[in-house]
Structure 1
Amino acid sequence: MAARRRRDNVLVAVLAVLAVLGGGRTILGWFSTPPPGPSDDTTTKIVGRSQLAESFARDFVVTYLSASANQQDKIAEYVSSGQQVTLPSTGRQVSDPAVVFAEREVSNPQLEVWSVTISAKVGKGAGTAVGTSSSAAASTASSSGTTTSASNASATAGPGRQYYRVAVSVAAGRVRALSLPAAVDAPGRGSDLALANQNSCSPDTPFGQVVSGFLTAYLTGSGDLSRYTVPNSGMVAPAPAPFVSVETATVSTDTTGCGTGGGTARVLATVNPKATDGASPTLAYPLTMIFSAGQWQVQRIDPLPPLRNPLTVVVGDATQGPQVQSTPSSVATTSPSSAVQVPPAKQN
């Protein structure tokens, strides 16, 4: 009995020491440095594996949709031959494939699984026809840089753009589809966000004159661009000039006065350009402008238009969100009493 009690006491003591040590490590963990986040190298590898999965999924969807009954071997290059595949007697025409979306669903050190959505024009005449929906036009724009209006698309006979999702495994640089593609719906239309540029400026305001001169010089290559930009702005006009003339359509800003005061302003300008082959669609340019040495100058072309802060979702003529604000039905045009001063052109 005494030996058994000593053994039990030793066991209890060992457990108590382990508990103390474990608690100590927990307390030390509170003060230790957290593990480092993803490195540039890790991020680059994830992006690379994403591109690998996307490229594979795009090729698979095109091959699968265009395959005929006697081309089962082509499908086996992408997915297990154990899949129950029924192919038509004649393959369909497929063109203009584009990656719409990719998301990593499973990840461990040995393997990743990506869900990739591909869009493509499918059907007779797929190589030349125009997409038949606004979603298709948006997807085409991301891959080719051009869009077609809904009215033009509906008036053109041809195939529609279809969407397919594929699960792709990536392991040690090797890719494989887990199953056959699934036809899915096109991405839905997103929400409009309220812009901050609520004050419209007439052409004779300081903002109207500087913006018009800047965009004309920027898009047509005529005039001295540096007259309208801050020193050392680094902005360079496109070369060769894409247009021969530019007509400023609207100028609006997030400040009042349209340039009668000083400070900094964000401006959204729309222009109607003309190329050598005729008129082109309206373009929009978000600009940051600053008042320096008695004149307004363009500091940069912004990647985004000026957004209302806090971000506000527009629904019809109203807005919704945590901070609900009404969207004004009209904006006032401010005409300052003084004209803008533009520095003289540089002498060559």
Structure 2
Amino acid sequence: MVSVSSGRRAESGEALLRRMAARRRRDNVVVVVLAILAVFGGGHAIVDAFSQPPSGPSENSTVSLIGRSQLVESFAQEFIVRYLSAAAGQQDRILEFVGGAPQATLPTTGRQVVDPIVVYVSREAASGGVDVWSVTVSIRIVRKTSAIADDSRQCYQVAVAVIEGRLRALSLPAVVEPPSHGPDLALDYRATCAADTPLAQVAAGFLQALLTGTGDIARYTTPNSGIATLRPAPFTSVETTMVNADNSSCGASGSTARILVSVNPKLDGTGTPTLTYPLAMILAAGQWQVRSVDSVPALKLPLTAGSMQSPGGAAAPSTSATSKSPVSAAQVPQATQN
């Protein structure tokens, strides 16, 4: 009995020593890891290593942010229109918007400001119950000095603070450069289809039924497309002028296709501007059918931007910096999520 008891105590002591040695090894590993984090990332790295990743914005916070954005846009539009249309002695008209109103020099006669449009808004800072926004508003100023009306637009930028739901401009507006026009993105259509090709025939019949109400639209669409004739019909006739497709055979082969259709619609014999429709099509039971009217044309992937175009339609001339190594297209990087 004694020898058995002594053996058990010896075995328990050895197991305890092994556990203690293993714990020391784990502790040493933890110390080494913390030391590395401290050297390369500082204290924040140590805290981040043991903390949960921050949660994304909640639905309520997103809705609240959109609401404040709309509130700021409305305020900025009203302020800029009121300010630009004010005349000398009318500083009180803008005093409710900005504290610098008494120092503003106003023209003898107020200008007629019309058609305000918010073209850009961003939240620049936030702290506690205070948000600071930057808003750019595009407006038209009616000029009476010329017999020809000037319909050009100007952009004005103003900073707006939202303090616990109350709004105030931080300064008077400034004229800024309007948003610039960018290059064209490359579309993914490789063939131009003649009027007698399968894709062009189905597209012409589909758009005729969609836009004029003549013909059976179900003949041209898949059963589950959910596409219905527009009511009331916006046009009385439609002429298809061009069909571009990613299907190089224009429907003679293959089972799917994306096409871009250009049409010249008319209303009671009077022409209207050309329209284009991106369509997704599928071959079912030997018949091409429209599966959907897409919201954007088919884009070449990866997204590729072409050369800048001048207002006349020709490519803009190369600058001296680019003339040595001309670039016809530039890839647009993939979008990333913050």
Alignment TM class, shorter chain as reference: 0.7 to 0.9
Deviations 1:275-316 (A, max 9, x none): 137110000000111111211111111111111111111114
Residue number in structure 1 paired with 2:290: 298
CA-atom RMSD in angstroms: 2.7
> Letter of the aligned partner of 1:229 in structure 2?
T
> Letter of the aligned partner of 1:173 in structure 2?
G
The question of 1:244 aligning with 2:236 is answered: yes
What is the distance in 2 between the residues matched to 1:272 and 1:167?
45
Shift of 1:157: 2.7
- Counterparts in 2 of 1:319 and 1:194: CA distance versus 1, 3 Å: farther
Deviations 1:41-70 (A, max 9, x none): 111111111111110000001000000112
What is the distance in 1 between the residues matched to 2:232 and 2:56?
44
Contact kept? 1:93, 1:125, Cα under 8 Å: no
Contact kept? 2:247, 2:254, Cα under 8 Å: no
Residue number in structure 2 paired with 1:148: none
Matches within 5 A, 1:140-159: 157-159=149-151
What is the distance in 1 between the residues matched to 2:230 and 2:166?
41
Residue number in structure 1 paired with 2:110: 91
The question of 1:111 aligning with 2:111 is answered: no
> Letter of the aligned partner of 1:94 in structure 2?
V
Secondary structure in 1 aligned to 2:280? strand
Shift of 1:33: 3.8
Shift of 1:124: 2.8
Residue number in structure 1 paired with 2:160: 168
Residue number in structure 2 paired with 1:284: 276
> Letter of the aligned partner of 2:84 in structure 1?
L
Matches within 5 A, 1:129-140: none
Matches within 5 A, 1:59-98: 59-81=78-100, 84-98=103-117
1:37 aligns with one of 56, 60, 63: 56
Secondary structure in 1 aligned to 2:99? coil
What is the distance in 1 between the residues matched to 2:206 and 2:136?
41
Shift of 1:158: 2.7
Residue number in structure 1 paired with 2:142: 123
What is the distance in 2 between the residues matched to 1:82 and 1:158?
28
Secondary structure in 2 aligned to 1:164? strand
Matches within 5 A, 1:204-243: 204-243=196-235
> Letter of the aligned partner of 2:171 in structure 1?
S
Secondary structure in 2 aligned to 1:204? coil
2:248 aligns with one of 228, 245, 256: 256
- Counterparts in 2 of 1:68 and 1:224: CA distance versus 1, 3 Å: same
The question of 1:320 aligning with 2:320 is answered: no
Which stretches of structure 1, 4 residues or more, deviate above 6 A after TM superposition? 24-28
Residue number in structure 1 paired with 2:70: 51
Unaligned runs of 5+ in 1: 1-18, 130-154, 324-348
- Counterparts in 2 of 1:89 and 1:29: CA distance versus 1, 3 Å: closer
Contact kept? 1:100, 1:117, Cα under 8 Å: yes
* TM-score, with length taken from structure 2: 0.76
Shift of 1:31: 6.2
Residue number in structure 1 paired with 2:189: 197
Shift of 1:237: 2.4
- Counterparts in 2 of 1:225 and 1:159: CA distance versus 1, 3 Å: closer
What is the distance in 2 between the residues matched to 1:175 and 1:258?
57
Shift of 1:319: 3.1
What is the distance in 1 between the residues matched to 2:56 and 2:80?
35
Secondary structure in 2 aligned to 1:208? helix
> Letter of the aligned partner of 1:47 in structure 2?
I
Matched residue pairs, number?
Answer: 277
Shift of 1:159: 4.3
What is the distance in 2 between the residues matched to 1:272 and 1:156?
31
Of 77-86 and 239-248, more deviation after overlay is shown by 77-86
Shift of 1:28: 8.2
Residue number in structure 1 paired with 2:23: none
Shift of 1:234: 1.1
Percent identity reads 51
Deviations 1:5-64 (A, max 9, x none): xxxxxxxxxxxxxx98xx599768536542210122111111111111110000001000
- Counterparts in 2 of 1:177 and 1:29: CA distance versus 1, 3 Å: closer
What is the distance in 1 between the residues matched to 2:48 and 2:257?
48
